[in-house]
Amino acid sequence: MEAAGPAVRRLADWSAADLADLAEEYGTPLYVTDLDRVRENAERLRAAFDVGDTEVRYAVKAHTGRAVLETVREAGLGAECASAGEVVRALDAGYDAVQYTAVNPPAEDLDIVLDRWRDGATVTVVAGAHDTVARLRERGFDGQLAIRVNPGVGAGHHEKVTTGGHAKFGVPYDRAADLVADARADFDVVGIHAHAGSGISGDDLDAHRELVSRMGELARAVGPLEFVDVGGGFGVPYHEDESPLDLAAVAEATREALGPVDATLAVEPGRYLVADAGVLLTRVNTVKAVEDADASGAVPVVAGVDAGMTTLLRPAMYDAYHAIRNLTEERPERPVTVAGPVCETADLFCEERPMPAPRRGDLLAIGNAGAYGYEMASTYNSRPRPAEVVRDGDGTRLARERETLADLTALEVER
């Protein structure tokens, strides 16, 4: 059994010398993912939720890199997929059973997933609308189905990640029991499902409890099921002074809120498995003093770096906080704005945050970049996506090559 490791790995815990070597060898911007940490996170989840009694399914959209998928699969966790692409990647990484949560699924997604199912893969489809159930029926699907319920409660660190209460997700709570009964005629209805959004924290446990207790009630109303899936959203401490989630307390609150049900409890953490297993390395290329000194007399600087919102979108999209550490040298602090190379005002990793004044050529590490990091990278501004290396035991290897300018135009059709 793997050691479960500490409850959180902070940016300060990474070896500066090792990261500097990787930046030297592979260039920047560079994602570094530590598979040993992914294993530790999986192990802590298993221990807290007592796997066997609870199913833990990795929400693969947090990081679908092949090495991560294989690692999580080997750690014994299931796979929760949000698209046909994720289903195919999970199956290709060795999963023989996956859950596919279809949110307004394009026809092609349904076709691809059902092809895999006909070829023998075990696929549990989670439908969040009557229309989705009808479209599955039209396609001759009669396999395992779960109904996604809109529990009417949400939890999350930002409006954009609070999905539980939004009408986009799931069938209205009051209509769910009817849909389950109706679907039982044509499908093997194995479960009910809800996901409240991301960011279950100590403070947010009440919303989580509320969602779980509604799901417990619904489960008792609809009769025997294989599972009640209460979603993911297990928070990680992005701020250095935030304490880590008390997983045992979350597990206990979940069981207690669920109450007695004739079904297995399932959870779907994504971020929790990978966030603190990843850092993004980026090099400073421009340093500029801002005109006015602040009250303390320190002159703020803008440090331009080679990673941007196209590399790590979370700060621009969610106002997310990520720790930033200068790996080159310790220096006196001053207010620093770290800015990317993209022509957008939102392309900032932090604004006037006190940190050692960077110099041109310095190497910075951005922490907790393992979840929704590479995954949300884009090629906006014609910026090729970065490379990724994985650390595994004592070794490090390239997991994904850096995209090239040629890759950006490879699909263009000449007239």
Ligand X SMILES: *Cc1c(COP(=O)(O)O)cnc(C)c1O
Q: Establish if 367 lies at the interface with ligand X (CB under 6 A).
A: no
Instruction: Specify the residue, 186 or 375, whose C-beta has the smaller distance to ligand X.
Output: 375
Cβ atoms of residues 45 and 247 within 8 Å: yes
Q: Which of 128, 269, 335, 358 binds ligand X (CB under 6 A)?
A: 269
Instruction: Identify whether the C-beta of residue 162 lies closer than 8 Å to the C-beta of residue 142.
Output: no
CA distance 122 to 17: 45
Binding mask 121-150 for ligand X (x = CB under 6 A): ------------------------------
330 vs 311: CA distance, rounded Å: 25
From the list 257, 222, 271, the residue with the least C-alpha distance to 370 is 271
Q: Does 61 participate in binding ligand X (rule CB under 6 A)?
A: yes
Does residue 59 interact with ligand X by CB under 6 A? Answer: yes
Buried-exposed string 220-233: b where 16+ CB fall within 10 A, e elsewhere: eebeebbbbbbbbb
- Is residue 43 at the binding interface for ligand X, with CB under 6 A as the rule? no
CB 349 within 8 A of CB 356: no
CB 59, CB 80: distance < 8 Å: yes
Is residue 406 classed exposed, middle or buried when 0-12, 13-18 and 19+ CB atoms within 10 A define those classes? exposed
The only residue of 29, 154, 165, 232 in contact with ligand X, by rule CB under 6 A: 232
CB of 345 to ligand X, least distance (A): 27
* Binding test (CB under 6 A) with ligand X, winner from 128, 151, 216, 233: 233
Binding residue for ligand X (CB under 6 A) from 271, 283, 385, 391?
271
Based on CB atoms, which residue is closest to ligand X, 57 or 334?
57
Is 40 a binding residue for ligand X by CB under 6 A? The answer is no
The residue from 343, 406, 411, 413 that is catalytic is 343
Phi, psi of 145 (to 5 degrees): -125, 140
Considering beta carbons, is residue 195 or 283 the nearer one to ligand X? 195
Residues that bind ligand X (CB under 6 A): 59, 61-62, 80, 82, 101, 195, 198, 231-234, 268-272
Catalytic residues: 343
